[in-house]
Chains A and B, each alone.
Chain A
Amino acid sequence: MKIVATFKRVPTTEAQAKVGGDGKTLDPAGWQYMASFYDEIAVEAALQTKEKHGGDVTVLTLGPSEASKEVREFLARGADSGVILKDADPAARDPRWTAKALAAKVQALGADVVFTGRVATDRDNAAVGPMLATYLGWACVTEVVALEISGAAGTAQRETEHGVETVAFSLPAVITCNKGLNEPRRPNLKGIMAAKSKPIAEESPSDAGAQAVVLSVELPPARKAGRIVGEGLAGVPALVDALKNEAKIL
């Protein structure tokens, strides 16, 4: 089986937001980066699928050359090859652009299944997975917490606000992965050594152009300073009073 896992290089969750000089981007000074949290789960799902069904895993990202650090990490965990669709200006992308660039490469790779995170933790669109599937004309199950593939079909479970859905799908498919699907492994020494000789290709992405236009970006308004209403059990009546008479909630 030809398996692809896509990931996005994003600022770590500790990153602070600071508006850039143009007022339309964030200033990345001081940021550290990582593979988006849910994409780690996607790579693990890809590796487990390979272990169960055979085949090989390509890790695919749209991003800067620096993403080779994360690609190398995933190769050390057991992926076979990496592809970086080099994108000089990640801030300018929108989900349609990303999905189209990934779709072109996924098609060229002849993949049977693509795993990706349910959302990237920088722009929070949660759109690329299902858009990718739609451009490919494939099945897609989003926010998956359990997965079973057998032959050219599979079943997946997704958690929604109203309960757990079981979805039957046919391959080829895009699966967007949610926390709970698996626990991403850490690489071992043998994997780290093996990763050094695995190929990472850098290519130019297809360029659909962005439709989303950022007009401005700002930090959320600071919350009005609150107050400590009290301490311990003695503070409980004051808190309930505040909820009732100030917040008008009770």
Chain B
Amino acid sequence: MSTILVFVEQSHGAPRRASLECLSAARATGLSVAAVVAGEGAEQAAAGLGAFGATRVVALTGAARWSADAVASDVAAVARELGAKAFLASATSTGKDIAPRVAALLDSTLLSDCTALTAEGGTLVATRPWLAGKALAKVTSTAPVFCATTRPNVFPAAESGGTAEVVSRPASNGGRASVSAVAEKSGGKLDVKEAPIVVSGGRGLRGPENFHLLEELAAAFGSAATGASRAVVDAGWRPHAEQVGQTGKTVSPKLYVAVGISGAIQHLAGMRTSKVIVAINKDADAPIFKIADFGLVGDALEVLPALTKAVAAARAR
């Protein structure tokens, strides 16, 4: 059976959820799934991948530093060795750094940020957003290796209960660029792209000093990230890493709460695939209400503290 190779990201020996989703997407195609994992903790992470559908796992170990070009060349070598018909990574910062290089080394184009992947008539077909999701294209590839990245939070991370044969091999050293330091986010703060719940704020919060209200709501929900509209990022109220929309990040959380965001077309494009959308805005005619499942007409500063309290109470029960 032909093989689909998945690049699995890990952090301190724990595979990242987006990569487990990617493994599940691979397994759902019916192809035989192999995984490759790199970096410090790779062997530990490799051990758990059989449960998510990998039947073979290659752990690349012993690199002195993380180098995307060295990792990509090792991953491409694994793909060649396995005769992989397809290669997948998740569309995270790391996946987007590695996958295009692997694709180029395999002289194959890349289909990025796919939201669906199916096997149709002996070939793989992906759905990917154009214009940040204003349109959805069904695409395939005539490349020697079908290379794609999968959008986080779209595919389920389903356990298969299987086991994998794990082999370790030495990673290449000495890439052309390598990571010399990492300043890890404090307190496990979630990124908007990966968080199951995103609470975003816009101009309606009236100033950067009021965003603690949004952070408190995010904390009340539990595993939630804070996001922001382009307007407030451009105004310098919030960091760009939080920006949701066509010139920021496209997100698909299970719950998206837009607070004080009117809903410019470029913002809607970035969050319209969220499973449930809540909008809070004092303008009842704001475009955000047209795509919201549940709308609350009201002033953000007035409503947020009460909502935070009510959400915390509901979760405590």
User: Interface residues, chain A, CB within 8 Å of chain B?
Assistant: 11, 13-17, 19, 26, 37-38, 94-97, 99, 121-131, 133-135, 138-143, 145, 155, 158-170, 173, 178-180, 210-220, 223-224, 226-233, 235-237, 239-240, 242-244, 246-247, 249-250
Residue of B at shortest CB range from A141? B177
In this assembly, does B94 line the interface, its C-beta being within 8 Å of a C-beta of chain A?
yes
In this assembly, does B235 line the interface, its C-beta being within 8 Å of a C-beta of chain A?
no
Q: Which residues of A contact B137 (CB under 8 A)?
A: 214-217
Cβ A131 vs Cβ B103 within 8 A: yes
Known: A96-B103, A240-B310, A243-B255. A124 touches B112 (CB 8 A): yes
Known: A96-B103, A236-B296. A220 touches B184 (CB 8 A): no
In this assembly, does B292 line the interface, its C-beta being within 8 Å of a C-beta of chain A?
yes
In this assembly, does B104 line the interface, its C-beta being within 8 Å of a C-beta of chain A?
yes
Q: Which residues of A contact B11 (CB under 8 A)?
A: 162
Complex partner residue of B303 from A94, A141, A236, CB under 8 angstroms: A236
Chain A nearest CB: distance from B169 CB in Å? Answer: 22
CA distance A14 to B128 in the complex (A): 20
Q: Which residues of B contact A231 (CB under 8 A)?
A: 296-298
Query: Could you give, for residues 1-42 of chain B, a 1 whenever the CB lies within 8 Å of some chain A CB and a 0 otherwise?
Result: 000000000010000000000000000000000000000000
Cβ B131 vs Cβ A218 within 8 A: no
Cβ A170 vs Cβ B138 within 8 A: no
Chain A nearest CB: distance from B38 CB in Å? Answer: 15
User: Interface residues, chain B, CB within 8 Å of chain A?
Assistant: 11, 66, 68-69, 72, 91-94, 96-97, 99-101, 103-105, 107-113, 125, 128-143, 175-185, 191, 193-194, 197, 233, 239-241, 243, 245-248, 250, 254-255, 265-266, 272-273, 276-278, 284, 289, 291-299, 302-303, 306-307, 310-311, 314-315
Residue of A at shortest CB range from B185? A163
Chain B nearest CB: distance from A37 CB in Å? Answer: 5
Cβ B135 vs Cβ A235 within 8 A: no
Known: A121-B246, A243-B294. A13 touches B265 (CB 8 A): yes
Which 6 A/B pairs are nearest by Cβ-Cβ distance?
A139-B176, A169-B177, A134-B104, A160-B93, A161-B191, A96-B109
Q: Which residues of B contact A211 (CB under 8 A)?
A: 108-109, 141-143
Chain B nearest CB: distance from A28 CB in Å? Answer: 11
CA distance A141 to B101 in the complex (A): 11
Known: A213-B140, A244-B314. A95 touches B265 (CB 8 A): no
Q: Which residues of A contact B177 (CB under 8 A)?
A: 139-141, 167-170, 173
CA distance A228 to B94 in the complex (A): 40
Q: Which residues of A contact B111 (CB under 8 A)?
A: 212
Chain A nearest CB: distance from B62 CB in Å? Answer: 20
Of the A-B pairs whose beta carbons lie under 8 Å apart in the complex, a sample of 15, sorted by A's number, is: A13-B266, A95-B103, A99-B104, A123-B130, A139-B177, A142-B93, A159-B241, A166-B182, A216-B137, A217-B130, A223-B272, A226-B295, A228-B297, A231-B296, A246-B294
Cβ B255 vs Cβ A159 within 8 A: no
CA distance A124 to B139 in the complex (A): 14
Cβ A219 vs Cβ B134 within 8 A: yes
Q: What is the predominant secondary structure among interface residues of chain B facing chain A?
A: mixed
Residue of B at shortest CB range from A163? B184
CA distance A178 to B175 in the complex (A): 22
Cβ B100 vs Cβ A95 within 8 A: yes
- Of B11, B185, B302, most buried by chain A (CB within 10 Å of CB) is B185
Complex partner residue of A15 from B112, B131, B141, CB under 8 angstroms: B131
Cβ A131 vs Cβ B130 within 8 A: no
Chain A nearest CB: distance from B93 CB in Å? Answer: 4
Cβ B180 vs Cβ A220 within 8 A: no
Cβ B69 vs Cβ A218 within 8 A: no
Q: Which residues of A contact B133 (CB under 8 A)?
A: 220
Known: A99-B104, A213-B139. A226 touches B289 (CB 8 A): yes
Known: A17-B135, A178-B240. A247 touches B255 (CB 8 A): yes
Complex partner residue of B243 from A142, A179, A242, CB under 8 angstroms: A179
CA distance A243 to B307 in the complex (A): 11
Cβ A168 vs Cβ B295 within 8 A: no
Chain A nearest CB: distance from B274 CB in Å? Answer: 9
A127-B103, A131-B110 given; name 6 further pairs at CB < 8 Å.
A141-B177, A162-B184, A166-B183, A217-B138, A236-B307, A240-B314
Cβ B100 vs Cβ A131 within 8 A: yes
Cβ B109 vs Cβ A235 within 8 A: no
Q: Which residues of B contact A121 (CB under 8 A)?
A: 131-132, 246-247
Q: Which residues of B contact A235 (CB under 8 A)?
A: 296-298, 303
Cβ A165 vs Cβ B182 within 8 A: yes
CA distance A37 to B134 in the complex (A): 17
Cβ A219 vs Cβ B296 within 8 A: no
Q: Which residues of A contact B265 (CB under 8 A)?
A: 13-14, 16
Residue of B at shortest CB range from A237? B310
Q: Which residues of B contact A250 (CB under 8 A)?
A: 311, 314-315
